[in-house]
Every structure is written in structure tokens, then in C-alpha cells.
Amino acid sequence: MALMAANKEQMMGKMQQDLLPIGCTFTPADLYRAAEPLIKLAVKEDAPKRQLVDSRLIVDLDMKGEARILANAQGILAGGWIVPLIAHSYDPKLEVLVHFRDGSAVKAGDLLVTIKGHVASIVTAERIFLNFLTRMCGIATLTNRCVQACAGTLAVVTDTRKTLPGYRVLDKYSVQAGGGKNHRMHLCDGVMIKDNHISAMHKITIAQMVERVRTALRKQRRYVPIWVEIDRLEQLPQALDGRPDVILLDNMSLQQLRTAVQMRNDWFAQMKIDAPRPTPLLEASGGVDLSNIGDVARTGVDRIAVGALTHSAPGLDLTLELIAEGIGPL
């Protein structure tokens, strides 16, 4: 991958070419819009008075050198494209070389990013580089491990809306880098009939609720997925009769999930529904993590929503190693 100056135009062009994971649904413009205000906030938060920053008081301001961001553990890269954007926020003359496409598997010792330019600028930005990268790589790595645990099944691993406020695009992008899929991005991206809705509207059936939503969406000429959340198997027949896109099985045991899959498949047979991936899909949710996701996948559900991907992923261990001109590693 070619060395590039850290400016918006070059960076967005580079993202389009070879830094984003294959099949990514986010555009460079989407990512830039999401990242720019977060980077500005992070820079202001970390260095509100640039003239008092330690590196500018200690390091010769004309000294140039090279920094290398290295992986200290095995994982999945996510966020390589954000490093030049951060670098540009500190020093437009910094040059950044990203060595892997996002979504790539990396191992301890791999060189992920090279940054060249003024040492004082690089060292000032060090923590911000690593804060973004460790979080994004951590989400991608946990997602990939969950996807691998579901290998050999039809289950698709998805995230939830349990994201860090303000970071939703970056969090969900990182899930894609790890091989997972995104649940709805926001409340307007789909309609979910949840347990509280069902309790409030107990005078009508779940199927009638689905039809009410479907009719309202038609009037608005909006076509978004409809979910129904149930927490008891006796609610499943009503939900099936409503024909939503997805039925979410909330906090059910493995045996309950198996029973739900069998009930849904029997209903397909009864209704003579025959398609490669017929709806409603069944989605398991609640209490799923890396320790049990493989067992959940083997029940036959179509989707597994994992909140832990974005709210509990440990950061990937990374380090920034500095080399000043003519000195070697510091």
C-alpha cells in the first residue's frame, strides 16, 4: 500500500481503494463523517493546550523520525484508515503507511502502520492513535472469534444497538471488519415489536400488531424490516402468523431454541413455504457470548445477536514504537 500524506482527500481515495474490508457497506464518506467529530473531541480532550504538551517541551521540534504501530497479540485489524485522519489533526505533514486492509488477520509482532514526520507530533498523537485502534480491533477480533465459533452452521452473527454513544458507526463498522453483520443502525432502520409493546397492546394479537405496523409503513412508503420479540414459546404461533421478517427469541434456553426452530419449520411445512431462506427468520438474543455462541448456533437459529461485541470487547494489545533519525528505537 502506498505511502500517503494524511489529508482528507487522499485518505478518502485510499479508503475507497484498498483499506476497507471486502463487502463493507459503509462508504468512505460515512466513515469520515462519523470519525471527524470524534477525533476532534479526542484531540481537544487529550491536548487542550498544545504548547504545554510534554513532547513539545522535551523533544526538539525540528526532529524527524518514524513510528511503527505493532500488534502484540493475534487479532483482526479494524481502523487502519483512521490513523491518517488522526495524524492530520496533529500535523498535516505526517505521512502514514497502512500495511494491511481492515478485516485482515494479524499476529503478534506484525507491523500494522508506519508514521513518518516530526517526532513531537507523532508522540503527542500516540495515545489517540492507540485508543481508536485498540477499541476497533478489539471489536473486530471478538466478532471474528464468534463467527468462527459458528462455523458449519447457518447462523449469522450480528451486533446490537449496545454501542458506545457517538461511536455507533465505528463500532458497527468494526463488527463488519470481523466478519459479522449489523443489526439495525438506529430505531428508524426497522421496527421491533418488543415485550413492552405487547404488554401495552394486550387487547390485540401479535399478528394484528405486525399488520398494524405493516399498514403504517405502507402509508409512509417505507419498507424496513419488522421484528417481533418474544420470550415465551407460546407466543411463537401468533408471531409466525404475523409473518414479520425476524422473530427474536429473547433469553431462551438451548432446548427452547431447538423447539422454536422445529415449530417454525413445521409451520413452514404446513403453510407450504419453500425457499432457500424463508421468513420469518429466528434470531437468538440475550446472554450470548463467546463461551456459548457455538451451542446457540447449532440449535438451528438463523441469526444470533451479541451485545457483547460492542459493549464488552477487550481492546487488542497494540504498541507504538518510535525511531528517531539516526538514533534507532527509543
Rounded distance between C-alpha atoms, residue 330 and residue 308, angstroms: 37
**Longest CA pairwise span in the chain (Å):** 78
**In 23-158, where does DSSP find H-type helix?**
28-46, 54-58, 82-90, 119-149
Considering the candidates 126, 229, 283, 302, report the single residue annotated as catalytic: 229
Look up 184 and say whether it is catalytic: no
- Give the active site residue among 68, 194, 258, 298: 194
Classified as helix, coil or strand, 102 is coil
Q: DSSP assignment, residue 316?
A: P
Catalytic site residue from 91, 211, 250, 289: 250
Is 194 one of the catalytic residues? yes
For the chain, the straight-line distance linking the first and the last C-alpha, in angstroms and rounded, comes to 26
User: Any catalytic annotation for residue 145?
Assistant: no
Residue type, 246: V
- Is the peptide bond between 92 and the residue preceding it cis, with omega within 30 degrees of 0? no
The residue assigned the cell 485518505 is: 11
Bridge partners for 4 per DSSP: 96
Q: Are 53 and 297 in contact (CB under 8 A)?
A: no
Q: Answer yes or no: 162 catalytic.
A: yes
The three cell numbers of residue 31 are 466513515
- Identify the residue whose cell numbers are 481492515: 102
Would you call 18 a catalytic residue per the annotation? no
**The three three-digit cell numbers of residue 14, written as one number:** 485510499
Of residues 64, 162, 181, 214, which has the active-site annotation? 162
Nearest to 76 by CA among 97, 107, 99: 107
What residue type is assigned to position 297 of the chain? Answer: A
Q: Which is catalytic among the residues 127, 218, 222, 232?
A: 127
* Cβ within 8 Å of residue 323, ≥6 positions away: 65, 66, 67, 68, 329, 330
Q: Are 227 and 195 in contact (CB under 8 A)?
A: no
Q: Catalytic site residues?
A: 127, 162, 194, 229, 250
